[in-house]
Structure 1
Amino acid sequence: MSTITCLRTYRMPDRPSLIWLEIETRDGLVGLGETFRGGVSVEACLHGELAPWLLGRDARHMEGISRHLLTPYVGYNSSGVEVRSASAVDIALWDLAGQRQGVPLYQALGGGARDSVPVYNTCAGYAFNTNGKRRDIGAADESEGPYDDQVAFMRDAGALAESLLAEGYKAMKIWPFDIYAPASGGHLISLPDLEKGLQPFRQIREAVGNRIEVMCELHSLFGGHSALRICQALEEYNVFWVEDPLCKMDDAASLADLRRRTRVPICGSETLGGLRPFRDLLAQDALDVVMLDLAWCGGFTEGRKIAALAQAYNKPLAPHDCTGPVTLMAGLHMALHAPTAIYQEVVRATLATWYRDIVTDLPVITAGMAQPPALAGLGTRLTEAFKQQPGLIVRETR
């Protein structure tokens, strides 16, 4: 009765980086998955390569399916389109597992390690990185609304921190150095540019002191020399972590060298696929905080092993989401379950706007804490209005 009978994908032309997956089984259940980046390529992989193998298989065999899709014949232990496709499949299969048991997904994983999860606000805007393009944003850009937080942190980060504290957020993440990377390919940052990049951190500390934690995101844009210069300059602002500081986040030796030469904690990396790169980074003492993205790393089956590895090395875990509502719900379930999880990332701009147009349920955040979903499985579904919107690209394989 748990036989997979259909794979169905949904793509929105105005958000081409995103794709949603529904997996149907013979018992009438529908599991929901999602991944981000290269939606057209993922769609082709799901229907052309994965669906012929998945159809007719038992959806309960998540481990066996994950092993086939990640190694050795499809994913090859990389973080490319095949692994993103496999991640969407795995999230949907675990959603089905929770539905079959009639429990929220974190309980299907083995239960919760905590009653709620602290969140931090990634200070992005309303359409950050979802239209397939990235652009540099500065203080001169026009704000598109009250939660256009990327413009806000480049304009007055202190006022932004006060706004977040007023809503119960106790941590925030910003990336003011990004605009200085393209000129040298990330291999040089001048002292004047370094000083301008530090200004938002200075504004935050002057406005609210130590009442809010601040993370610095470097988006894998920098080489070793410039990353070290930034990290050392951030030490006086007591940042909670510096995330993805190097242009090659699977380079364990370089990350370990950077970590030895600075006092700021190093976090990584949402960009990695599968268990092995995390094993290598932790074995070489290259990370202080383990970040994973379930829509990129292989889903829950691989994610729970990465979480166990973080626990074995006594490192905190922080699930990533700055991409889509299903990934956010998945990350919350992992953060509830994983013993060393400390934060779930959220973007208040998207929580207040287009995430609500796509799914039926989103995390409930109270005083900076995400509450556990109550419904079975992921606890959310694609809305009927989303499925009926004009221009939506729907494809089925049976």
Structure 2
Amino acid sequence: MKITDVKATLHRVPIEVPLLKEKITTSILFAVVETDLGITGYGLTRGSQRFGMREFINRELAPFLKDKNPLETERVWNQLYKQFNPRAQTGMWSSAVSAIDIALWDIKGKHYKEPVWRLLGGAQNPVQAYVTFGLKQYSKEQLVEVAKQLVAQGETRLKMVVAVDPENPKLDAERVRAVRHAVGDEVELMIDANYLFSFNRALELCKLVEPCGITWFEEPVYQNDAALLADLRRHTSIPLAAGQNEGHRFRHRELIVNRAVDIAQPNVCSVGGYTEAVKVAALAQAFNLPIANGGGWPHHNMHLQAAMANGWRVEFHFEMWGVGDKIYKEPAAPDHGWVTLPETPGLGLEPRFDALKEYEEK
């Protein structure tokens, strides 16, 4: 089998979320890889540096990949690495290669007539799932209302964003306490600061919400600084998670070896696709750490979590979950804290090309 064409397009997808009047618009890059046997694979990554990524894929990666065997994912990944990124930089390269690698694994699954999660290892199905509902845009009252709605629907694992004001952790603590009081002690609750706290403010919030029984605190400090995370981890009883936007196993190694995290969070749409993500999962497993999906894109990351023995749970973030529902036909969804992966060959994701065309960004 040979690759005959590679094309990347950009899309801005409007998402409706509960209780908010205005839609949230999310940018993505969508990659299509075609082969001489008529099998087509589809990949996706987040829209950060999206115009540069589109040009990089269409003008550099596409001609380089032509005539290569899409089934040889390890060979192709390393060829891309040596040709375009010999100094192991992250950012645009990692995201672009993520989209391509995801598409190649989609082709591989369709060729071998197996779902990607099974080709990668097939450790478990269904997989635990959680819903990220607690957006910054919500008032405290709206947070409580949406949390109650989700619990009434049977969801038992919820995550909310903190660092609404990075200099005022007391505001976040009030919001966390309000949600905990509303949903009770049986519902798991996680928090995510998206890198926005200084060490002192992160520690302050930890002490304020430790009584709330937080399952994990995600990416609490600037830059995912491994030294600061390790120090914070020694000063709080709340488990720490990080790594969702890290590109390359080397950054994850820094977090794991320095004992900066309790949960590793490789995201296949950022780290370099499945080919790189399974290496991070194996590294975490060698340190007896679980991996969990952070950073969204559940319909792609669920394959990694189901594949690995230390895969723990899939994140259904209102925003990225909504994108998947808009651009794919009937993708998987959480049900009472679990998601069941399809037996469909490849990723099991059938694009809605009419929606992709409608939301395309030229």
Tell me the TM-score normalised to structure 1 length.
0.82
- Out of 188, 191, 201, the position equivalent to 2:176 is 201
Please give the per-residue CA displacement for 1:21-67, whole angstroms capped at 9, x wherever unaligned. Answer: 01001111000100112221110110122112111111111111112
- Out of 269, 283, 293, the position equivalent to 2:267 is 293
Are the aligned partners of 1:310 and 1:316 in contact in 2 as well (CA < 8 Å)?
A: yes
CA distance in 1, matches of 2:134, 2:58: 32
**Residue 318 of structure 1 pairs with residue 292 of structure 2:** yes
SS at match of 2:90: coil
CA distance in 1, matches of 2:356, 2:181: 47
Per-residue deviation, 1:339:
0.8
CA distance in 2, matches of 1:196, 1:221: 14
Please give the per-residue CA displacement for 1:331-380, whole angstroms capped at 9, x wherever unaligned. Answer: 111111111111100035664x5533311231143222100112110001
Are the aligned partners of 2:134 and 2:161 in contact in 1 as well (CA < 8 Å)?
A: no
Equivalent residue number for residue 143 of structure 1: none
**Residue 165 of structure 1 pairs with residue 151 of structure 2:** yes
**Residue 230 of structure 1 pairs with residue 205 of structure 2:** yes
- Out of 250, 256, 259, the position equivalent to 2:233 is 259
Query: 1:40–1:16: structure 2 CA closer, same or farther, 3 Å change rule?
Result: farther
Equivalent residue number for residue 16 of structure 2: none
Equivalent residue number for residue 337 of structure 2: 368
Equivalent residue number for residue 311 of structure 2: 341
CA distance in 1, matches of 2:240, 2:356: 40
Equivalent residue number for residue 137 of structure 2: 137
Equivalent residue number for residue 129 of structure 1: none
Equivalent residue number for residue 77 of structure 2: 66
CA distance in 1, matches of 2:121, 2:97: 22
- Out of 54, 61, 66, the position equivalent to 1:55 is 66
CA distance in 1, matches of 2:356, 2:32: 12
SS at match of 2:214: coil
Query: 1:72–1:274: structure 2 CA closer, same or farther, 3 Å change rule?
Result: farther
Equivalent residue number for residue 109 of structure 1: 120
Query: 1:78–1:168: structure 2 CA closer, same or farther, 3 Å change rule?
Result: farther
Equivalent residue number for residue 21 of structure 1: 31
Equivalent residue number for residue 384 of structure 1: 353
SS at match of 2:261: coil
Are the aligned partners of 1:252 and 1:281 in contact in 2 as well (CA < 8 Å)?
A: yes
CA distance in 1, matches of 2:329, 2:52: 27
CA distance in 1, matches of 2:86, 2:300: 21
Are the aligned partners of 1:161 and 1:212 in contact in 2 as well (CA < 8 Å)?
A: no
Equivalent residue number for residue 122 of structure 1: 132
Please give the per-residue CA displacement for 1:98-120, whole angstroms capped at 9, x wherever unaligned. Answer: 00100111111132x22211111
Query: 1:254–1:388: structure 2 CA closer, same or farther, 3 Å change rule?
Result: closer
Are the aligned partners of 2:7 and 2:62 in contact in 1 as well (CA < 8 Å)?
A: no
**Residue 34 of structure 1 pairs with residue 20 of structure 2:** no
SS at match of 1:301: helix
Question: Could you tell me the percent identity over the aligned residues?
Answer: 27
Equivalent residue number for residue 271 of structure 1: 245
Q: Which amino acid aligns with 1:137?
A: Q
Are the aligned partners of 1:321 and 1:331 in contact in 2 as well (CA < 8 Å)?
A: no
CA distance in 1, matches of 2:70, 2:292: 28
**Residue 330 of structure 1 pairs with residue 300 of structure 2:** yes
Query: 1:69–1:337: structure 2 CA closer, same or farther, 3 Å change rule?
Result: same
CA distance in 2, matches of 1:270, 1:76: 21
CA distance in 1, matches of 2:284, 2:179: 31
CA distance in 1, matches of 2:49, 2:306: 29
Per-residue deviation, 1:16:
6.7
- Out of 155, 167, 183, the position equivalent to 2:141 is 155
**Residue 305 of structure 1 pairs with residue 290 of structure 2:** no
Tell me the TM-score normalised to structure 2 length.
0.90
Q: Which amino acid aligns with 1:372?
A: L
CA distance in 2, matches of 1:267, 1:70: 27
CA distance in 2, matches of 1:222, 1:349: 22
CA distance in 2, matches of 1:72, 1:55: 14
Equivalent residue number for residue 86 of structure 1: 97
Are the aligned partners of 1:321 and 1:346 in contact in 2 as well (CA < 8 Å)?
A: no
Query: 1:165–1:75: structure 2 CA closer, same or farther, 3 Å change rule?
Result: farther
Query: 1:58–1:225: structure 2 CA closer, same or farther, 3 Å change rule?
Result: same
The 10-residue stretch of structure 1 (16-25 or 238-247) with the greater mean CA deviation from structure 2: 16-25
The 10-residue stretch of structure 1 (365-374 or 155-164) with the greater mean CA deviation from structure 2: 155-164
Please give the per-residue CA displacement for 1:129-169, whole angstroms capped at 9, x wherever unaligned. Answer: xxxxxxx6252xxxxxxxxxxxxxx3243333321111121
Gaps of 5+ in 1: 126-135, 140-153, 182-188
SS at match of 2:197: coil
Are the aligned partners of 1:19 and 1:43 in contact in 2 as well (CA < 8 Å)?
A: yes
Equivalent residue number for residue 192 of structure 2: 217
Q: Which amino acid aligns with 2:137?
A: I
Per-residue deviation, 1:9:
2.0
Q: Which amino acid aligns with 2:154?
A: G
SS at match of 1:79: coil
CA distance in 2, matches of 1:194, 1:230: 5
CA distance in 2, matches of 1:387, 1:205: 38
